[in-house]
């Protein structure tokens, strides 16, 4: 706002004449008024641009918020599909979510998982085909490979997929186990199959384990009993203890183990007693063979037709071993108190148990004409193979 140079009245910027005095304002003043008016009009342009930018930003923000909300809803929907195992729908839904928000990292990670899950589903289908062909190891390798590929993923959907893989693995192992059992496995194979069955988490596998344990118990009991009957206690005990490794709570095997221990103790006691008896018998036998091996059966002294005194007798072996060089020492007593001693060997030279030998000797130096002769066997000596 300016003042009229003529009357001093205030003049508006757009006025050319002074409203008070009616005079036309000077040209320079009019020019300044125009420039000022033009300058004031230029302020509307940046203000309008700024307003448009604010409006555009607001609209863009609202748009992005809408896109984010839409992407979040799609992500939640994809999660539901993944939990249900419908990985194809989950994958398509995640693609839509990323179309709305390109830098949606959670959706990207989930998309990687669904692509992996689709691949794993194919692996499980291939494993089923291999199972039908009884290619158990190849089928199990596919399942293990699939589970290993999920190492870097986590979440409830991942857990459910791993559970599904575990069920497939158990199904494969159970089928493989049944196949092996149909091949008439020996006891060593059964022990291995027992551990394999223990790794399978299913009611059917538990029933198979019970059946295998019963077979192990029956086999172990039979084999150990055979050794027990032959008094092979250590072998019997080893067999039972090996069986108990696989069926530790078996009442049948634990009872047999107790029986083996008792029978072993009883057998060793009886054996010790027999040994003691044998030692006593051997000592008695030794004493017999040394002191009472020869029994005198008969002995007599008489004169023959020529008047010679003849001593004759028999002895018998009471020994348990052969007796050699049996020497009979005797004495003759005549009626005039004459005493004659002599030694004579028995023949045969060796007597075996219960055999009888004879001895005979003719005295040419006894001239007494008497029939009253008394004979006494003073001593009998002998030798055995042990003494020699």
Over residues 332-378, the pLDDT tens digits come to 887 767 788 899 999 988 889 889 999 988 887 776 665 677 888 99
Judged by average pLDDT, the poorest of 93-97, 257-261, 324-328 is 93-97
- Provide the H-helix boundaries in 43-155: 44-83, 87-100, 105-132, 136-148
The 10 Å Cβ neighbour count of residue 165 is 20
The mean pLDDT value for 269-297 works out to: 79
pLDDT at residue 36 tops 60: no
211 vs 155: which has the higher pLDDT: 211
Q: What's the residue count for the chain?
A: 388
CATH superfamily of 292-384: Immunoglobulins (2.60.40.10)
Element (H, E) at 351: strand 350-351
In this predicted structure, the answer to whether residue 12 has a pLDDT above a threshold of 70 is no
How is residue 63 written in tokens? Answer: 């748009």
pLDDT digits (tens, 9 = 90+) for 296-335: 999 988 877 777 888 899 999 888 888 888 899 999 887 7
pTM: 0.55
Q: Is 136 helix (H, G, I), strand (E, B) or coil?
A: helix
Q: How far apart are CA 331 and CA 311, in angstroms?
A: 10
For residue 5, pLDDT over 80 is answered with no
70-78, long-range: CB < 8 A, 24+ apart? 70/97, 70/100, 71/97, 71/98, 71/100, 71/101, 71/104, 71/107, 72/97, 74/100, 74/107, 75/104, 75/106, 75/107, 75/110, 78/107, 78/110, 78/114
Q: Is the pLDDT of residue 284 over 80?
A: no
Q: What is the pLDDT of residue 63?
A: 45
């Amino acid at each position: 706002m300016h003042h009229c140079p003529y009357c001093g009245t205030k003049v508006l910027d757009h006025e050319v004449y002074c409203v008070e005095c009616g005079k036309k304002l000077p040209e320079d003043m009019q020019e300044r008024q125009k420039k000022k008016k033009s300058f004031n009009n230029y302020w509307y342009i940046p203000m309008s641009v700024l307003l448009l930018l604010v409006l555009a930003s607001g609209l863009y923000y609202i748009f992005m918020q809408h896109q984010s909300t839409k992407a979040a809803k799609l992500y939640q929907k994809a999660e539901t599909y993944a939990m249900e195992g419908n990985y194809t729908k989950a994958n398509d839904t995640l693609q839509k979510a990323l179309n709305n928000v390109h830098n949606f990292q959670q959706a990207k990670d989930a998309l990687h998982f669904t692509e992996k899950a689709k691949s794993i589903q194919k692996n499980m289908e291939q494993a089923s085909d291999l199972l039908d062909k009884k290619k158990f190891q190849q089928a199990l390798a596919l399942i293990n490979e699939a589970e290993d590929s999920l190492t870097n993923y986590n979440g409830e959907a991942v857990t459910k997929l791993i559970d599904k893989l575990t069920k497939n693995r158990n199904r494969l192992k159970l089928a493989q186990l049944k196949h092996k059992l149909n091949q008439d496995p020996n006891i060593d194979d059964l022990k291995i199959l027992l551990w394999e069955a223990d790794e399978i988490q299913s009611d059917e596998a538990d029933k198979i384990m019970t059946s295998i344990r019963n077979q192990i118990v029956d086999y172990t009991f039979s084999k150990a009993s055979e050794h027990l009957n032959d008094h092979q206690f250590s072998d019997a005990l080893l067999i039972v203890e090996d069986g108990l490794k696989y069926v530790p709570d078996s009442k049948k095997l634990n009872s047999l183990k107790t029986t083996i221990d008792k029978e072993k103790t009883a057998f060793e006691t009886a054996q010790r007693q027999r040994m003691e008896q044998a030692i006593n018998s051997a000592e008695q036998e030794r004493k017999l063979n040394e002191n009472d091996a020869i029994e005198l059966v008969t002995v007599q002294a008489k004169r023959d037709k020529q008047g010679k005194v003849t001593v004759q007798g028999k002895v018998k072996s009471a020994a348990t071993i052969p007796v050699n060089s049996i020497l009979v020492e005797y004495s003759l007593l005549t009626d005039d108190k004459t005493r004659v001693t002599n030694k004579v060997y028995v023949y045969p030279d060796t007597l075996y148990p219960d055999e009888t030998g004879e001895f005979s000797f003719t005295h040419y130096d006894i001239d007494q004409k008497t029939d009253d002769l008394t004979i006494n066997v003073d001593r009998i000596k002998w030798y055995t193979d042990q003494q020699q």
